[in-house]
């Protein structure tokens, strides 16, 4: 298979995914699985190997991510039902004051977004945003856009979110480094593309508080701020702690096996999930039946996500097994583009075309993996570059675009000028930071 022929086949495959997902509204799992089969057949893979490649790709991806996704869902549910998210929100808003509450909303989204998905965080925290907007007489667009920026940047660059964790796994990046880089490198972009941009655009676009907006209600006493914050950050503490200890210790230190055990993503999430159930559930009077029901309900939305992630893992595996990986390596290297910019550009294009940040990130990893065998760039930095590409370029192909629009009842034009442009600002600033960091780290 020649280079030109391989690229044509790959282009047809990508266009096919876009058409199936966007034009014909086919579920991403079916679209990606169909793409795997087509790519295998068109590239000349032995028929008996195609199914095995799909199976290995899905198994290798979900074997690592399924427990992480489930444990993260448990943590997010306990943060919701216990009122932990509201406690964090009220504490930060008290710190900043209501007139500056939009800054607090960025931090709230940033912290609460660690165990929950961006859209789940919106459902959880939008009633609070409505309350703040009404009480402080702040634009709901200013408050909501600041909140969503915090949720989105963590969603795309910080494990244990599944796409960020999957990309780290595919690129063999140190998860602790991904945490550190992700938490730090997105801050400038989140500040500029979030509250600062939102403050300006909310002056030009007037969004009235929706008449049917449900404001936050307090049905039970809230948990303590310190306990809630510690439990939310516990998986980060364990995983980042592992990286710091490994870097600062000798390789034969007697305590390293214990540190590596506690810092493994699955173990760190398990400890954090159990602690959340105990301190935000059992200690707050929830019965065992209620806790079991909470855990079961938290897993229901994960089924579709797991299937899409698994299919994206299969697609990446087929790309490598059919020989397309070697072709991509030659072509991408010949372009002579810095790998950080290349990773960001690929993720940006896929995000724009497919809509889903998760699919865009995981598919990008399949393109970038061959390049890393030649370019000595820190894989953790490449993970952030891919995540940065997935932060921006949200438009009508993205369910999050419509999710935000329905909450605020905005026009599509105003969504492009505010929501879409905000994400693009964050994306571009973050990749610029990653680019310069690549010459230092």
**Higher local confidence (pLDDT), 190 or 215:** 190
* Among the listed residues 360, 341, 352, 342, the one whose alpha carbon sits nearest the alpha carbon of residue 392: 352
pLDDT of residue 198: 96
Q: Judging by beta carbons within 10 Å of its beta carbon (0-12, 13-18, 19+), is residue 440 exposed, middle or buried?
A: exposed
Q: Judging by beta carbons within 10 Å of its beta carbon (0-12, 13-18, 19+), is residue 138 exposed, middle or buried?
A: buried
Which stretch of 189-203, 218-232, 319-333 has the lowest confidence by average pLDDT? 319-333
Q: pLDDT tens digits for 57-85? A: 889 878 877 888 788 889 888 988 888 88
Q: Which run of H or E residues covers position 136? A: helix 118-136
Q: What is the mean pLDDT of residues 269-283?
A: 93
Say what the pTM is.
0.82
- Assess contact for 384 and 178: CB atoms under 8 A: yes
The top-scoring range by mean pLDDT among 131-140, 243-252, 269-278 is 269-278
Coil, strand or helix: which one is 403?
A: helix
- Assess contact for 185 and 434: CB atoms under 8 A: yes
| Cβ count near 224 (within 10 Å) | 13
What's the domain range around 304? Answer: 3-437
- Residue 248's pLDDT band, with cuts at 50, 70 and 90, is confident
Q: pLDDT tens digits for 387-435? A: 999 999 988 778 788 878 888 888 889 999 999 999 999 999 999 999 9
- Residue 374's pLDDT band, with cuts at 50, 70 and 90, is confident
- Residue 148's pLDDT band, with cuts at 50, 70 and 90, is very high
- Kindly tell me if the per-residue pLDDT of 141 is higher than 80: yes
Q: How many domains does the chain have?
A: 1
CA distance 169 to 57: 12
Q: What is the mean pLDDT of residues 251-278?
A: 90
Coil, strand or helix: which one is 439?
A: coil
pLDDT of residue 213: 63
Q: What is the mean pLDDT of residues 358-373?
A: 83
CA distance 301 to 416: 28
CA distance 165 to 179: 10
Q: pLDDT tens digits for 13-66? A: 888 887 887 788 888 889 889 999 999 999 999 999 999 999 998 898 788 778
The percentage of the chain sitting over the pLDDT mark of 70, rounded to a whole number, equals 97
- Kindly tell me if the per-residue pLDDT of 94 is higher than 90: no
Q: Judging by beta carbons within 10 Å of its beta carbon (0-12, 13-18, 19+), is residue 39 exposed, middle or buried?
A: buried
Average pLDDT, rounded, for the chain: 87
Coil, strand or helix: which one is 384?
A: helix
Residue 243: half-sphere exposure toward Cβ, Cα within 13 Å: 16
pLDDT of residue 275: 96
**Higher local confidence (pLDDT), 249 or 204:** 204
pLDDT of residue 216: 58
CB burial of 279-312 (b: ≥16 within 10 Å; e: otherwise) equals: bbbeebebeeeebeebbeebeeebeebbbbbbbb
């Amino acid at each position: 298979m020649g280079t030109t022929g391989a690229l044509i086949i790959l282009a047809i495959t990508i266009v096919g995914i876009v058409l199936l997902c966007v034009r014909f509204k086919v579920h991403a799992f079916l679209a990606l699985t169909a793409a795997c089969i087509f790519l295998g057949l068109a590239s000349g893979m032995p028929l008996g190997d195609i199914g095995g490649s799909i199976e290995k790709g899905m198994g290798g991806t979900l074997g690592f991510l399924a427990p992480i996704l489930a444990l993260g869902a448990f943590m997010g549910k306990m943060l919701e039902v216990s009122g932990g998210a509201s406690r964090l929100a009220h504490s930060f808003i008290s710190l900043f004051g209501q007139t500056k509450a939009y800054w607090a909303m960025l931090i709230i989204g940033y912290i609460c977004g660690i165990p929950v998905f961006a859209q789940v965080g919106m459902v959880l925290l939008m009633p609070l945003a409505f309350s703040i907007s009404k009480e402080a007489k702040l634009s709901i667009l200013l408050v909501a856009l600041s909140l969503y920026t915090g949720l989105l940047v963590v969603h795309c660059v910080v494990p244990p979110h599944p796409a960020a964790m999957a990309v780290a796994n595919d690129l063999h990046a140190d998860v602790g480094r991904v945490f550190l880089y992700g938490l730090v490198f997105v801050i400038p972009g989140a500040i500029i593309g979030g509250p600062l941009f939102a403050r300006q655009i909310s002056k030009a676009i007037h969004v009235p508080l929706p008449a049917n907006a449900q404001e936050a209600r307090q049905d039970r006493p809230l948990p303590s701020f310190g306990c809630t914050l510690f439990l939310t950050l516990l998986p980060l503490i364990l995983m980042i702690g592992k990286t710091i200890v490994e870097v600062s210790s000798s390789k034969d230190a007697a305590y390293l096996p214990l540190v590596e055990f506690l810092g493994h993503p699955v173990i760190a999430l398990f400890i954090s999930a159990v602690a959340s159930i105990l301190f935000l559930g059992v200690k707050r009077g929830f019965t065992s039946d209620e806790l079991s029901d909470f855990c079961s309900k938290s897993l229901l939305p994960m089924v579709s996500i797991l299937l899409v992630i698994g299919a994206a893992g299969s697609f990446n595996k087929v790309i490598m097994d059919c020989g397309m990986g070697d072709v991509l390596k030659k072509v991408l290297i010949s372009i002579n583009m810095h790998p950080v910019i290349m990773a960001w550009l690929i993720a940006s294009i896929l995000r724009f075309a497919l809509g889903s940040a998760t699919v865009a990130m995981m598919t990008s990893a399949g393109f970038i993996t061959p390049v890393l065998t030649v370019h000595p760039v820190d894989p953790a930095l490449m993970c952030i570059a891919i995540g940065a590409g997935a932060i921006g370029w949200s438009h009508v192909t993205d369910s999050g675009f419509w999710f935000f629009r329905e909450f605020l009842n905005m026009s599509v034009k105003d969504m492009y000028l505010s929501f879409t442009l905000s994400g693009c600002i964050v994306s571009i600033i973050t990749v610029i930071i990653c680019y310069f960091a690549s010459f230092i780290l």
